[in-house]
Amino acid sequence: MLLVAQNLTKEYLIEKSIFSLQTIKVKAVNGINFGLEKESVLGIIGETGSGKTTLAKLIAKLITPSSGQIKYSFCDIRKSIQIIFQNPYNSLNPRLKIKTILKEPFIIHKICSRSEIPARINDLLKKTKLNDTCLDKYPEQFSGGQRQRIAIARALAVQPQILICDEPTSSLDLSIQAQILNLFVCLKNELKLCYVFISHNLEVISFIADKVLILYKGVDIEKGTKEQVFKNPLHPYTKILLSKDLILQNSNLNQTEEENILNGCPFYNQCRYRMKRCFEMPQELQPEDQHYVKCHLYQR
């Protein structure tokens, strides 16, 4: 395993209102467990506010967990984990030429001598299907797909073991999305990379992932191999994601339910199968090999 996350939780203190000094605790990530194997792709699916980006920052050690831990099999996390951001228009410094952008990682991390840098940069351009004529240009002179290739090249400069891809194709046209996804597949096979691929697009995750983790309001409600999750979804929320026939039930809770559900299943209000035991957070269960779910429906 490259890394193992154990009961990972991240809490934030939020003010109730601008007129009140009272604060409440919000768990952006709540008790998540998973492992990353070498040369694997973990697809993380969740809607806006599900905790996907917070989880990515925790993996990259950009923020520290409130509780729980991540155990790494390597020491230099800054080099071993790199992030590809969603918007290629914001991830590159517009004041720097591409040759400077690609040169910086080699200098900062002291990867090689300065005389070796041009050859290393040319190798990155070949890997990401870029022409060397781009080196004397600025980011604004490129399309979104080209900028994303440049961002990928920059991330590869430090020879990472894990690439965290945070919605890297969502701002691109469909045809360009396909090209970038195929590039990710080629780079994974060539460089033996591991990806954490975050997306709300089920087709993207189905194409690139080996294993899938479903997030809902910070909870890893289901995870397993791609085939298990997509062909045999267990959690009611996962079934809704994968089926056009199922509709979310949005019920109004009475005061007692609102008080009791604070520490219970986050999907309670919209679940058609809810019951009293859902006032408690369900434990992680394993109905089949490598397939895990947090739902009281599967408790014996």
Give the domain ranges of the chain. 3-215, 236-298
CATH architecture of 3-215: 3-Layer(aba) Sandwich (3.40)
* Residue 244, pLDDT score: 60
* Residue 119, pLDDT score: 97
Contacts of 11 (CB under 8 A, 6+ apart): 25, 26, 27, 28, 66
Over residues 113-165, the pLDDT tens digits come to: 999 999 999 999 999 999 999 999 999 999 999 999 999 999 999 999 999 99
Q: 17-51 burial string, b = 16+ CB within 10 Å, else e?
A: eeeeeeeeeebbbbbbebebeeebbbbbbbeeebb
* Residue 145, pLDDT score: 95
* Residue 171, pLDDT score: 83
* Residue 286, pLDDT score: 96
The sign of the dihedral angle between the CA atoms of 175, 176, 181, 186 is: positive
* Residue 13, pLDDT score: 87
Enumerate residue ranges in the chain where pLDDT < 50: 246
Distances (CA, A) of 174 to 23, 91, 170, 251: 43, 20, 9, 36
* Residue 150, pLDDT score: 97
Structure tokens at 135: 């080196």
